[in-house]
Amino acid sequence: MISDAGTGDDPRDGWFPESVAAGYDAPGGANAPAVVTPAVDVLEDLADGPVLEFAVGTGRIAVPLAARGVAVSGIELSHAMAARIAGKAGGEAVEVTIGDMTTTRVTGRFSLVYLVYNTISNVATQGGQVDVFRNAAAHLRPGGLFLVEVGLPDLRRLPPGQDTVPFTVAPGIGGGGYVGFDQYDVVTQQFTSNHVTVSPDGTGRFRRIPFRYAWPAEMDLMARIAGMSLKYRWADWDRSELTAESTKHVSVWETDRST
């Protein structure tokens, strides 16, 4: 079921319109069982009651989590993305509200709020990211948990004078291909993710998405501002230790149990 929180804007004008949503559930990559299942395992283990997913997207995580008997709600900015949840087997179990995860409130108190797959970085200002933490805390019951999965900025690969790091170069079958690269501004902590796709007939498409990176310590401060403290920090969903070689982190903050 999808309800509208009345944001006043058409979410399809954002970074995840129909043209993106149409291919978002393609097999492999982020949708591969080897990627989805470990995340769902951890979320199920942490859940001790209803859960809320910020930026629920097409239900890549929410639908399989709901299939395990967890009561899942979601907030999603893009109508095009959210519309695909109901079409999935079991998708009707996920209650989705259209809105901005920095401000949109849904009814209920949750044991867990989670935000995965780098989506915190889609909020491209520090103030906006703090608002995400505050909104998560506002939805949590005492002792509730807020989980974020996000990549660590690849700044160690930047030699002096360079601001760009390629992350994918993939030739296409029958010609064409795909190139992806991130471009960093280390002063503002802004970066853009750039995607160049060329079809076999030579037709090209360029897509550029703005992000903001934040180090784990900065997120700990955001959590503290929102009244939460760090409970767990892992390098991945396998709960491995975060090290200097880690490329992402999965962090969990806890609200005060006495409030």
Residues 119 and 70 in one domain: yes
Residues 124 and 170 in one domain: no
pLDDT at 179: 94
pLDDT at 67: 97
Tokens of 182: 């991130």
Tokens of 111: 């044991």
pLDDT at 234: 98
66, HSE (Cβ side, Cα atoms, 13 Å): 23
Structural domain count of the chain: 2
Taking 50 as the pLDDT cut, the residues of the chain under it are 2-4, 6-13
Q: Provide the 10 A C-beta neighbour count for residue 229.
A: 11
Residues 167 and 202 in one domain: yes
Tokens of 78: 């893009």
Residues 65 and 169 in one domain: no
- Domain range for 244 is 2-152+213-255
Residues 84 and 148 in one domain: yes
Residues 115 and 203 in one domain: no
Q: Provide the 10 A C-beta neighbour count for residue 116.
A: 23
Residues 14 and 113 in one domain: yes
Amino acid at 193: S
Amino acid at 143: G
CATH of the domain at 164: 2.20.25
Q: Provide the 10 A C-beta neighbour count for residue 16.
A: 22
Give 80-133 pLDDT, tens digit per residue. 999 999 999 999 999 999 999 999 999 999 999 999 999 999 999 999 999 999
Q: What is the pTM of this model?
A: 0.90
Contacts of range 123-127, beta carbons closer than 8 Å, 24 or more positions apart: 123/212, 124/190, 124/210, 124/211, 124/212, 125/212, 126/189, 126/212, 126/214
Residues 207 and 125 in one domain: no
